[in-house]
Structure 1
């Protein structure tokens, strides 16, 4: 027996009493407030004195933000696996990856049989559980093709549609005590979840050995299986009275051997005692973590992630994995790890990175940058993974994935000042700001990450009224290539602050931005579908109406080619920034005349409703062959050329976004986004085998364009730099690059070459504490 090296987790095991449901929920909320990691509930559906556990799990998930949730353990005979798989994946997606599945083969068979389930022997229960695990994983497997088919004796699946995939790889923890169940745990489960008081024969040592032996026979690493432990006969008191019945330090002394000698890493308190829950979170857990870290450091061990032989075999030979800082080891992901499929790709591009780092603090970002620049492999940075250029993933390199740094804070409601971390999604930002009556215009898709958009420009549904996202940034925190964490604003490193707003990906890893949001509650949201057979006149009319509209109105138009004998269609989105219905109707009505209207709808909605985050799984599924440009006006000549594009059949979509108005109120040299005279952004996208024809069609349109919106361009040829940053902006950026990144460490996102005359930064500003 030994320490398996897992990070420690702590939580509660609560009684779902129907007599006082509010108290149960309050104890779950207290579990989160106390800083604990996990809340679990008994599952006895045949007991009318208990709340239904699944309903309770869903309710608690909605009432908490960080806490993991699980049954302890769910009764498989009364929760058929095909339905359970979909329910679990749904709850995991709704809770943004916070559900784990504690599962049992069944007990209290009189009650189970009384509810109509078949009574099983102990051996049959294990066999049924084995089948159920295969069903669960088969439903969740988003990489498999075709329906799920399993020929089971207990849970046959003739032909089931797979999905949905959960938001993260859900752990399956088994409540196991007897040899056959322990063997199944080693063969197929992610965790062992017994109760200390029930561990008699086999005892803990023997049970752990049986799990390990079964894992090895199955070709798994024993360390793949987390060891969790329910603790019931416990108490905190000033005087020691027995095992885990005494002061916090006694707890630490008695739990420490369970971690270091028996491999347990998760402890769940089975008492509905608020004082005990608080003490566990505030005193015992921190002290035990500190003691374990000290012992591991002294023994040469570590709390880093333990990987299987298969995972180790997939390591990239050009990367020094042993040099990875310990601060990043636990959250890192390599080829062969279970999480790898979820972090390797971006939305539009496939990737095979050698290592994905997932920092949770700015200090860990410093460690990631310092490590990444020492490796002779590509270094990519990803916030949301929706970048069209594909530079947020790579092949054989390091990816710094910022998704775990996703806080949204309102710092000062009076001044509307907010702070966002780069891994937050804009849909979640909208939801977090709405209770304060605030909003931030930020694209049209709620799953896009804060970091990429807020360092490029940010054309959103409120753009003509409030301008670009970068126009509202008042400060940023950024890790530069030399490993400094800087706070930049108008007074501290103003040159870098200027560059971050429009070219931030070239200068470091932004760890937070502060912005001034604006007062927005409800908006009028309208959608039109028009027959675009007369494409050029429709585009011209739409463009003219946008320019003539009050700046409260912003509009996007997506043009699709005709298919199967149907005409091309234009899908128009119109957003009026405010709840003045009469003014909105006056602004929207002229758009009904752009062409034959096939469908229309308009409604007054809260702003978050139009950017709701879908929680996409990224599999390289988006169009990634694109071109981007900016137009001053939709002229007859430009409209004719774009009509040719959509009639060719070689362009899958043309999308137009209104800018102008408030965007153009800003001076061209105020930020590193200099395009302050144009009124429209245009994007053309196609599939890879038609890219040459798109290039030819785009070349004809190119003379009518003035500039480029960086986020929508897949062509990273250096010649495109002057489209993104025309002079003198580019020369100014090169000078800033020479100051903060002279070695061009951040060279993946439309790389800006440093000016040849390099100068080092001075001492102004300072580190962020």
Structure 2
């Protein structure tokens, strides 16, 4: 029987004796100290001399930091699969992904019955185990709606799934007879017998049965790990044990060994001498035979055309997530948009980003780049393409607190940045949601709560490290690659992947945040009056207004969130009270808080979705603009309007200083609706469009080429096209409002 190529695993097989409750914990700690990989605990709930295995596993996980834990094996008849799955996921989450599931059909029928378990024949226990595997995996699969199962032994009607484990929990079956071996091959992730109990069928015969069942189920034999409980090995010396274990790997395909006996010296010898020697011998043999770690059949079956997965550079192999990977559900979507990429690569430094770009260029699929994954415009994911996800590049470093110089990774999120900067009395305007990534915002604009006082985020970028389309890593600032530096501040991801930003943060203590809720019956009037009042406000005031139409019989309302960038509460109160003249006040409150307190904290994984969002800029909220914007809400085509005030310090910057030319407008306006209402929304937006003056690209989901002239009015667009020809002539970075390269290269300056 061949070596299946799995990573080797060494651990202990321990009895949960209640006579010395701390003994198993001490064994686990000794095993971890010796470098072993796992501690497994017998599970016999009917035994009065044993501790409860799952309580003990939780305690062991809390008392260790690295070693994996598993029941060996869980007694299914006395542990209902839903409860067992939730317990397993809970331990896995609490331990940071260190739990594995050893599972058995329950071989002690009388003891199980005496403990209140079901009275089942051996065949019925196998059937119940088959159902239980489906149920448990269903509980862990939170990507789908309620769990239903109608079986002979388990009936589940619409259970809410979850929690989702921290990693893909392997289900290892304790199996010895043909039906159990066939079930192992068809559905399990591992075979976990005890060496002393393997009689007939033999090891070779058992492996053959597992392999045959795997192939019949459309799987590969290598989908099933072979693990072994060993109470004793023949021979007296470590050398003899190393030879036997190496043979079990290379001749019978075993890759995991759990040793009985709790002698500390034996554990030390296993971890420090035997396991390293077996690994070395197996590595040498695998190098000679070319045996590599296997890919699961599930992963292979979900690969997409156009991507040469085998050509992925070795340095990126641990960074790549394929559709069949357990981690895929956490990286496929953006905050707003659903995606189904063929490969997600999560590099950890600029060199790996460079390798990822060169690899992606060689594939015949779209390439998207993601920082934090908020991605309202929808371009940080795709279908069937490659996503370079910069989430692991999330460093936040204060280089010089006195000067306010900071270095940020593109994958850092702004809530984290705000908290870190506040420790040094610094701040940086960054939108209103803490889950937004640095990379997407700091290359497009940054319309934040401090904009009228301090300007856009891009106004404070002083340098950037960038990976270009040809894989080169360059620094762009006022002295180095100044044209590129001009372009990346406003043109999004069109010119490369920024792998680090240097920004000049500014001093800021506490701020005042106010929330005002207006009766929106006269929404056009509120928009017009609020706009005029904001323009008349001191620069310390930046206000965002969100308006919603009638919902469920409730009247329309508008909510203004206003920030006064300073601690002068009297001045803040005067400025905020002035805004209350915008319309009838339903509710008003204000707080003096640190700036990080107002940046909404991000949630967990992104679950995607979809929306239609239209974006525009205006200088003033004229009566006509206010009327047409209000019509979007009253039509029902838009479920919300959001207006962000800019102006002030934003408009102090010359329009040609960087690739964000919009330096006369005072407001950003967006309208959001469902895809089902897109036609009506577009028709009404087209009526508003002639009154707009530019567009902020991060809020726009329409990718029509005409939108480019709105985002980059001339001469900005011509200059950008010429620079695109210089830095990305093949238009590799074409997913973020792609700027087409100029047909001929010309000098720009």
TM range (shorter): 0.7 to 0.9
* Counterpart check, 1:485 vs 2:473: yes
Partner of 1:136: 136
Partner of 1:656: 643
Distance 1:692 1:318, change over 3 A: same
| Contact kept in structure 2, 1:442 and 1:459, CA below 8 Å | yes
Q: Equivalent residues in 2 for 1:265-664 (5 A)?
A: 299-303=289-293, 306-308=295-297, 312=300, 315-329=303-317, 331-334=319-322, 343-396=331-384, 398-402=385-389, 405-410=392-397, 412=399, 414=401, 419-427=407-415, 440-515=428-503, 527-549=515-537, 551=539, 553-575=541-563, 588-598=576-586, 607=596, 610-619=599-608, 621-623=609-611, 625-664=612-651
| Contact kept in structure 1, 2:28 and 2:39, CA below 8 Å | no
Partner of 1:222: 221
| Contact kept in structure 2, 1:12 and 1:277, CA below 8 Å | no
Gapped runs of 5+ residues in structure 1?
Answer: 235-239, 762-769
* Counterpart check, 1:691 vs 2:678: yes
Partner of 1:160: 158
| Contact kept in structure 2, 1:173 and 1:193, CA below 8 Å | no
Report the 3-state secondary structure (helix = DSSP H, G, I; strand = E; otherwise coil) of the residue aligned with 1:694. Answer: helix
Residue-by-residue CA offset, 1:382-441 (whole Å, 9 max, x unaligned) = 334433443333344x31231562433435474665554444444555567677776654
Partner of 1:722: 709
- In 1, the alpha carbon distance for the partners of 2:197 and 2:670 equals 63
Count of matched residue positions in the alignment of Structure 1 and Structure 2: 733
- Per-residue deviation, 1:635: 2.9
Residue-by-residue CA offset, 1:69-103 (whole Å, 9 max, x unaligned) = 654466656654334545666777788x8465424
- Per-residue deviation, 1:446: 3.7
Residue-by-residue CA offset, 1:592-621 (whole Å, 9 max, x unaligned) = 5543444556566672674222123434x1
- In 2, the alpha carbon distance for the partners of 1:54 and 1:573 equals 48
| Contact kept in structure 2, 1:426 and 1:613, CA below 8 Å | no
Partner of 1:767: none
- In 1, the alpha carbon distance for the partners of 2:508 and 2:37 equals 36
- In 2, the alpha carbon distance for the partners of 1:636 and 1:278 equals 83
Gapped runs of 5+ residues in structure 2?
Answer: none
- Per-residue deviation, 1:712: 0.8
- Per-residue deviation, 1:506: 0.9
- In 1, the alpha carbon distance for the partners of 2:453 and 2:171 equals 52
- Bigger CA drift: 364-373 or 261-270? 261-270
Distance 1:752 1:565, change over 3 A: same
| Contact kept in structure 2, 1:9 and 1:38, CA below 8 Å | yes
- Per-residue deviation, 1:534: 0.8
| Contact kept in structure 2, 1:428 and 1:612, CA below 8 Å | no
* Counterpart check, 1:190 vs 2:189: yes
Q: Equivalent residues in 2 for 1:145-184 (5 A)?
A: 145=145, 147-157=146-156, 159-164=157-162, 166=164, 170-174=168-172, 176-179=174-177, 181-184=180-183
- In 2, the alpha carbon distance for the partners of 1:120 and 1:591 equals 73
| Contact kept in structure 1, 2:633 and 2:640, CA below 8 Å | yes
| Contact kept in structure 2, 1:138 and 1:162, CA below 8 Å | no
Report the 3-state secondary structure (helix = DSSP H, G, I; strand = E; otherwise coil) of the residue aligned with 2:137. Answer: helix
Residue-by-residue CA offset, 1:348-404 (whole Å, 9 max, x unaligned) = 4444544444444443332322222223333222334433443333344x3123156
Report the 3-state secondary structure (helix = DSSP H, G, I; strand = E; otherwise coil) of the residue aligned with 1:738. Answer: helix
Distance 1:507 1:111, change over 3 A: farther
Q: TM-score, normalised by structure 2?
A: 0.79
- Per-residue deviation, 1:746: 1.4
* Counterpart check, 1:752 vs 2:739: yes
Distance 1:289 1:171, change over 3 A: same
Residue-by-residue CA offset, 1:711-767 (whole Å, 9 max, x unaligned) = 111122222222222333333323332222122221221111223443899xxxxxx
Distance 1:307 1:110, change over 3 A: closer
Partner of 1:764: none
Q: Which has the larger radius of gyration?
A: 2
- Bigger CA drift: 573-582 or 508-517? 573-582
Distance 1:573 1:684, change over 3 A: same
Report the 3-state secondary structure (helix = DSSP H, G, I; strand = E; otherwise coil) of the residue aligned with 2:490. Answer: helix
Residue-by-residue CA offset, 1:472-496 (whole Å, 9 max, x unaligned) = 4444333211122334344433332
Residue-by-residue CA offset, 1:181-236 (whole Å, 9 max, x unaligned) = 554433323345678899898776665544433322332222233456789999xx
Cα RMSD over matched residues? 5.0
Q: TM-score, normalised by structure 1?
A: 0.78
Q: Equivalent residues in 2 for 1:667-682 (5 A)?
A: 667-682=654-669
- Per-residue deviation, 1:683: 0.9
Distance 1:137 1:469, change over 3 A: farther
- In 2, the alpha carbon distance for the partners of 1:656 and 1:339 equals 37
- Per-residue deviation, 1:628: 0.7
Residue-by-residue CA offset, 1:508-566 (whole Å, 9 max, x unaligned) = 22334344556678766554443211102222333344445555554332222213443
Q: Equivalent residues in 2 for 1:101-112 (5 A)?
A: 101-105=100-104
Residue-by-residue CA offset, 1:90-127 (whole Å, 9 max, x unaligned) = 777788x8465424346999999998766878766554
- In 2, the alpha carbon distance for the partners of 1:56 and 1:674 equals 59
- Bigger CA drift: 124-133 or 38-47? 38-47
| Contact kept in structure 2, 1:167 and 1:617, CA below 8 Å | no
| Contact kept in structure 1, 2:320 and 2:343, CA below 8 Å | yes
